[in-house]
Structure 1
């Protein structure tokens, strides 16, 4: 049996064993998300299509799949989805400005030899491509934190419906503080693991610390990590505030569904 098929079968078995039907839906969601991004990349090849706008639609689609398809449509997934969209909207302007200032767009010096046989006149805005790459990289972490805050806040309100809006918001912030450190470190170690070969290459090329920090490929990855961390930090108060407002508003209106 093919190694990838075997690993996929093991993953499916464990997800179904641990999560039941929700675990099976989560497994299917992996392939649905892959399909969304594959379609995004295909449309992005068209010079007449705005890659940033296309990526925003893809990010919204991925968030909807991860939240609504996996966990159903309810207050926690609706609030998590709304929090994700608000956070991405806030991050978009920061990502575009910093990506342009850092000049991470295009190809790095380390890639010149590999692409030398190709034409670089492809007719696309590489700044927007860089922005799209960062958005795609951060959307998963932001959605994960959004549901991780919305779900316990909903449970807290269900068991203690008399809690005030301020108290509920503070509980969401307390939950978020526990998530913040671990998720940020997860992103960092994911970078180290994924780019270990790049760091070894830098060492073999006898790059100085300054050359490593100022290299385009390293800078682009670090920018992605920083924006993912910023997104995680931003979505904690946004998700806490939206959930506290929605849940207490539903209580005043006659109940929460």
Structure 2
């Protein structure tokens, strides 16, 4: 019932664009299941790279299906990869410098492989979604602006894209934390009801989620200027915009 409701709402509000978005979600879900099955079947030691490759495939397929194979697609793809890569590298670097103090990777539910790699695989997928959301909005706005005002300069395009990014950055980060709070609510209540302290409960049930949200926030902050810059450079000084 819920699936039909989503299907109907997407079609009513976005017509065939909504159906393409839904189709991309279905394709990515199938690919994700295939990657998980591959990891389980082969029991890979360095399985993080399987999901890193999957992230590239998810991004490329989603953008091609929704936007088409064009300049806007390439600019958005480049922005997402740069923002996601830098965000993950900075997050990993910070954890490496602090020796992951206070984090318990083994607290991940049902972890049957290296919990640290599992944590970063989960973080990568969440980070990718947040960065993709921000980059798509920024690049789309810049392309629409260029289409409506062909004589606009690169500087104006960059400033407009950057302004859009700043306006959506706060709400996006808040959404990430709200999703995290919703996911950890039940287990947090359980820990409190069994007499655990706030510090102990946070360390074992919430710290990993907070770090994931912070890394996603870093990615969003980085993709804002990146997407605005790449879009402005791709369009600045040209009168023709092909979507």
Q: TM-score, normalised by structure 2?
A: 0.89
RMSD of aligned alpha carbons: 2.2
Distance 1:42 1:98, change over 3 A: farther
Tell me, yes or no, if the aligned pair for 2:131 and 2:219 is still in contact at 8 Å. yes
- CA radius of gyration, larger in: 1
Q: Distance in 2 between matches of 1:155 and 1:52?
A: 37
2:54 is equivalent to residue 65 of structure 1 = no
State the 1:91 CA deviation.
2.3
Matched length: 238
2:50 is equivalent to residue 54 of structure 1 = yes
2:62 is equivalent to residue 77 of structure 1 = no
Q: Distance in 2 between matches of 1:194 and 1:125?
A: 22
Q: How does 1:202-241 map to 2 (within 5 A)?
A: 202-215=191-204, 217-241=205-229
Q: Distance in 1 between matches of 2:54 and 2:65?
A: 15
Distance 1:92 1:51, change over 3 A: farther
Tell me, yes or no, if the aligned pair for 1:168 and 1:244 is still in contact at 8 Å. yes
Q: TM-score, normalised by structure 1?
A: 0.84
Tell me, yes or no, if the aligned pair for 1:84 and 1:143 is still in contact at 8 Å. yes
Tell me, yes or no, if the aligned pair for 2:146 and 2:241 is still in contact at 8 Å. no
User: Where does residue 22 of structure 1 map in the other structure?
Assistant: 17
State the 1:49 CA deviation.
5.5
Using CA pairs below 8 Å that are at least 6 residues apart, which structure has the higher relative contact order?
Answer: 2
Q: Distance in 2 between matches of 1:187 and 1:239?
A: 20
Q: Distance in 1 between matches of 2:177 and 2:87?
A: 19
2:91 is equivalent to residue 95 of structure 1 = yes
